[in-house]
Amino acid sequence: MKNQKTIAGRVKSMRETLKLTQRELSQKINVSTASICDVEKGKYKPNCDFLENIASTFNVNLYWLLYGQGEMFLDPAILLGVQSGKYYIKTDEVRNFLWYYQRSAIVQHSTMAHFYTLLIQQKQNIEKEIREYEDKS
């Protein structure tokens, strides 16, 4: 991969790995193409919303995006899918989960409670990492 020592380099590297143009990336995360260009050139320091949007839209490891450590993507199947031109979804597992989810209030409640807990933890982790990033800058 090319320069991944800076956030600008990692954003560009991620975009190129996904085989997106700056325009396509900007459309997917609802920012201007000029903003993508400025971020990639290091002219503009991306804010928290920008980084979180990339991370959630493309399943990018936020820690990698901020610090350059760890894997680029949270799920290795995404990278494999990009390289082969296909995206992989374990449909049997999804169907099985949905079957139980639709038929059981207990499964629905426990799933929602688990997601809520994960969202709170993720939000706290993201806020902590953003504060650390901003303190370093």
**Mean pLDDT, the chain, integer:** 82
Segment 127-134 mean pLDDT: 88
Residue 87: per-residue pLDDT: 46
Q: At what angle do helices 7-17 and 33-41 cross, to 10 degrees?
A: 120
Is the separation of the CB atoms in 59 and 52 below 8 Å?
Answer: no
Query: For the chain, which residues make up each domain, given as ranges?
Result: 1-84, 89-137
pLDDT at 77: 56
* CATH fold for domain 1-84: 434 Repressor (Amino-terminal Domain) (1.10.260)
Residue type, 6: T
pLDDT value of residue 21: 96
3-class DSSP state for residue 1? Answer: coil
Q: How far apart are CA 103 and CA 130, in angstroms?
A: 40
* pLDDT the model gives residue 90: 57
Instruction: Indicate the pTM of the whole model.
Output: 0.55
